[in-house]
């Protein structure tokens, strides 16, 4: 028996040479297998490629990877823009067995290179991707979605995960993401952690219309008001979520962007949609400024008039709690609902688990692209 396998074994300052890296990793796992009674049973379900072009993200990304890889054992390949000459480091990780669950093993390859040598690092990443398994790309931070590097990364991946909550210009960024998605013609699926943050809101709004009696109101919506926070640090996550919620509802109900755009101020954006000849007025309201970057939606309200009855359906958030209210005519129903803030690691875990395209998100992106085209002709983009 060899020395016991530690929970993390690493090598630094290795040449950026794929044969050397594979040999080192194979040797590490051989050594680990000898130290584990009964041998070592290891599985990988994917390669996770993580481009890190922004400074200051490394620690957050490492924390998230540690949480994610215990659920989806994988080979993580980080491509990091750095000042130094191209080099690599390796780490092999173990989450020990506990509570009747077997141990989980995963490995991390970090390829560092200055900007000019990033294509070389990326070519090594492509060669190091595990054969016969999907490659998912997680792009933390803002992304130059129109740039050539994003294009190269997209060629390696089967699926791209961005976080539009990190986009500095959400409307532009989402519009570009929609364009990239179209360029790939369905060969690469495009998803978004910020979209997943909206899931609870989508469920709560959808629930208003599960009852056949109330469902008819969906045909007669005349207004939608979405409230969002913008963090004091400038994070536009709330605005991106408001856009996505609007785009989701509009795309599900077949609304199209009307030529007319009502107005925009710092705290209010007014839009008009065409629902088969009927106008639907939409307001995106910035309601609060939060202290931290954890901004999001604060409220969503839908109003309709059908058969002489008014219907008002709203969800309001207050911390982790919220109130879901349906008022149809005189009848009012109010429920306390739970709006938990999912951690970014939870969101990424959930996204990795649901491999495949998200047609609903793609439809919503398509609508946002139409909005960007309209915005380009009427006013400066955000």
Residues that bind another protein (CB under 8 A): 41-43, 45, 69-73, 95, 100-105, 199-200, 202-207, 209-212, 215-216, 218-219, 249, 252-254, 276, 320-321, 324, 326, 333, 335-338, 340, 349, 353, 358-361
Return the bridge partners of 82, or none.
Answer: none
Tokens matching residue 199: 């899931």
CA dist 329 and 92 (Å) reads 62
CA dist 42 and 63 (Å) reads 22
Q: Which is nearer to another protein, 217 or 228 (CB)?
A: 217
CB of 355 to another protein, least distance (A): 12
CB of 174 to another protein, least distance (A): 18
DSSP string, 175-188: HHHHHHHHHHTTSS
3-state secondary structure of 191: strand
CB of 121 to another protein, least distance (A): 28
CB of 94 to another protein, least distance (A): 12
CA dist 295 and 305 (Å) reads 32
DSSP for residue 132: T
CA nearest to 211, candidates 336, 361, 337, 333: 333
How many Å separate Cα 301 from the centre of its chain? Answer: 24
3-state secondary structure of 55: coil
Q: Which is nearer to another protein, 95 or 152 (CB)?
A: 95
CB of 24 to another protein, least distance (A): 22
Rounded to the nearest 5°, which phi and psi values hold at 211? -75, 130
C-beta separation of 353 from 159 below 8 A:
no
CA dist 8 and 330 (Å) reads 63
Q: Which is nearer to another protein, 89 or 207 (CB)?
A: 207
CB of 242 to another protein, least distance (A): 17
Secondary structure percentages of the chain, helix, strand, coil, to 5: 35, 35, 30
Helix axes 170-184, 148-156, angle to 10 degrees: 50
CB of 340 to another protein, least distance (A): 7
Rounded to 10 degrees, the C-alpha dihedral 162/168/169/174 comes to: 0
- How many other CB atoms sit within 10 Å of the CB of residue 240? 30
Residue that has been written with the tokens 């207004």 in this structure: 223
Q: Which is nearer to another protein, 56 or 319 (CB)?
A: 319
CB of 325 to another protein, least distance (A): 11
Q: Which is nearer to another protein, 185 or 359 (CB)?
A: 359
CB of 101 to another protein, least distance (A): 5
Q: Which is nearer to another protein, 216 or 268 (CB)?
A: 216
């Amino acid at each position: 028996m060899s020395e016991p396998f530690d929970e993390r074994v690493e090598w630094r300052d290795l040449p950026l040479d794929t044969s050397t890296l594979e040999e080192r990793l194979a040797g590490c796992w051989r050594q680990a297998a000898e130290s584990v009674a009964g041998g070592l049973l290891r599985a990988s379900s994917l390669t996770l490629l993580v481009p890190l072009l922004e400074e200051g993200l490394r620690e957050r990304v490492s924390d998230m990877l540690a949480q994610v890889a215990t659920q989806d054992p994988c080979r993580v390949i980080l491509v990091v823009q750095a000042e130094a000459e191209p080099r690599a480091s390796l780490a092999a990780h173990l989450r020990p067995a506990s509570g009747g669950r077997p141990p989980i093993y995963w490995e991390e390859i970090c390829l560092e290179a200055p900007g000019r040598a990033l294509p070389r690092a990326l070519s090594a990443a492509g060669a190091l991707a595990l054969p016969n398994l999907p490659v998912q790309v997680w792009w933390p931070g803002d992304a130059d979605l129109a740039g050539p590097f994003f294009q190269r990364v997209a060629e390696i991946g089967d699926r791209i995960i961005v976080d539009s909550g990190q986009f500095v210009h959400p409307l532009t960024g989402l519009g570009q993401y929609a364009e990239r998605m179209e360029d790939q013609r369905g060969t690469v699926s495009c998803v978004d952690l910020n979209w997943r943050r909206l899931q609870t809101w989508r469920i709560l709004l959808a629930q208003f219309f599960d009852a056949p009696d109330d469902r008819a109101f969906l045909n007669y919506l005349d207004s939608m008001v979405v409230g969002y926070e913008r963090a004091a640090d400038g994070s536009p996550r709330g605005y991106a979520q408001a856009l996505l919620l609007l785009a989701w509802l509009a795309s599900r109900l077949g609304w199209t962007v009307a030529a007319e755009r009502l107005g925009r101020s710092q705290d209010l954006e007014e839009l008009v949609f065409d629902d088969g000849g009927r106008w639907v007025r939409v307001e995106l309201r910035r309601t609060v400024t939060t202290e931290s970057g954890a901004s999001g939606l604060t409220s969503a309200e839908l109003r309709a008039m059908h058969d002489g009855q008014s219907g008002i359906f709203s969800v309001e958030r207050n911390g982790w709690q919220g109130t879901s209210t349906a008022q149809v005519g005189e009848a009012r129903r109010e429920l306390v609902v739970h709006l938990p803030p999912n951690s970014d690691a939870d969101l990424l875990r959930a996204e990795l688990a649901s491999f495949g395209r998200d047609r609903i998100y793609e439809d919503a992106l398509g609508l946002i692209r139409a909005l960007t085209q309209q915005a380009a002709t009427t006013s400066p983009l955000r």
